[in-house]
Amino acid sequence: MGVWYASARPGRAFFIGQNPVARRTGPDDAGKHKMEVMADLPVMLRVHGRRCVVVGGGAVALRRASALLAAGGDVTVIAPEVDPRIVQLPVRVERRAYAAGDLVNCLLVVAATDDPSVNERIGRDASAAGALVNRSDAPDRGDLQVPAHRQAGPVTLAVHTGGISAAAAVTIVDQLLDALDPDWPRLLELAAPWREQVQRTVTDADDRQRRLRALTGATTMRMLKERGAEAARAHCRAVAEGRTMAGDGTENAATP
C-alpha cells in the first residue's frame, strides 16, 4: 500500500478529495501576502496487483515506477527512450510513444513526459478511462500527489507541504523519522496478530474498541520498554482474551 494524496478534477465521475494547492492571495491590511492552503485528504491507496502505467522514461518516471513497485503495483512504463535503471526494474517496458488505449483497465497513470501537451492528453484520457492521474509537470492538475514518505516497519510517515516545497517535505519527514520512538514499530508488530484475533472474535463493538486501544496503549508500551517483548506479548494476549495484566506482569481476574 502506497502513500498518495488524492483529489478530484472537475468533471470526474468520482470524488476522493480536494487537491492540495497553496494559493497566494492579495495583501492584508499590513501589506503582507496571505497564503490560502486548500485542505487535502491524505489516503493510503492500495495498488497491489493493480495495473499502473508510467508514461515517460526519465528520473521522475524512475522514482514513480519504483514507488509503485514497492507498493505491489503491476507497472508498465511507456516511453520512446527509457532510463537504463528503469529497464533493470521488474516492470514491462514499451519503447514507444503514448497512444490511445494505453490506459485500459488502469487504476493509476503517471504522466511524466517532458511535453505538457502530452501530459494534458494523458490526463483527459485518464478521466475518460476512470483512472487516477499523477502529473509531474503540473501536480495541481492531477488526481494524486506523492508526499515525501518514510517507512519504519508498519509505520508510514508522510509529509506534504501543499505544493510549496518538496525539499522541505523531505527534510520534515526525515526529522519526524529521527524523532520516532523506535519501540513503536516493535509494539505494533507484536500486537498485530492479537489485533486480528480481537477483530475476528469480539462481537461487541464497545468491548472490541476497548481491547484494540489497550493492545497499543501506554501499559503495553511500558511493558515493552521495562520488561521486554515477551512481557508485552503476554499482555497483548491477555487483552485479546478479555483478561487484564497487573503492572508487574501477573494476571488479574478475568474481565466479565
* Binned average pLDDT, 10 residues per bin, the chain of 256 residues: 50 37 52 60 91 97 95 97 96 96 96 96 95 92 89 94 90 97 97 96 95 96 96 95 61 41
Give the bridge partners for 43, in sequence order. Answer: 4
Residues 71 and 187 in one domain: no
In a domain, 121, yes or no: yes
In a domain, 11, yes or no: yes
pLDDT at 3: 55
Residues 137 and 219 in one domain: no
Residues 22 and 138 in one domain: yes
In a domain, 76, yes or no: yes
pLDDT at 90: 97
Single out the residue in 87, 120, 146 at which a domain terminates. Answer: 146
Residues 22 and 135 in one domain: yes
Residues 99 and 201 in one domain: no
pLDDT at 1: 60
pLDDT at 216: 96
What distances in angstroms separate CA 50 from CA 23, 59, 67, 89, 234, one per listed residue? Answer: 34, 23, 14, 17, 38
Q: What CATH number has the domain bearing residue 67?
A: 3.40.50.720
Triad 71, 76, 80: Cα angle to 5°: 135
pLDDT at 255: 41
pLDDT at 13: 34
CB atoms within 10 A of CB 203: 7
Single out the residue in 118, 146, 174 at which a domain terminates. Answer: 146
In a domain, 160, yes or no: no
Domain of residue 92 covers 2-146
Single out the residue in 88, 118, 146 at which a domain terminates. Answer: 146
Residues 128 and 189 in one domain: no
Residues 228 and 132 in one domain: no
In a domain, 217, yes or no: yes
- The span from the CA of 203 to the CA of 195, in Å, is 13
In a domain, 78, yes or no: yes
Residues 141 and 201 in one domain: no
Is-contact 75 54, C-beta < 8 A?
A: yes
- The span from the CA of 226 to the CA of 220, in Å, is 10
- The span from the CA of 58 to the CA of 81, in Å, is 8
How many distinct structural domains can be found in the chain? 2
In a domain, 172, yes or no: no
pLDDT at 14: 35
Residues 10 and 135 in one domain: yes
Residues 207 and 107 in one domain: no
Residues 136 and 229 in one domain: no
pLDDT at 212: 96
In a domain, 250, yes or no: no
Residues 20 and 138 in one domain: yes
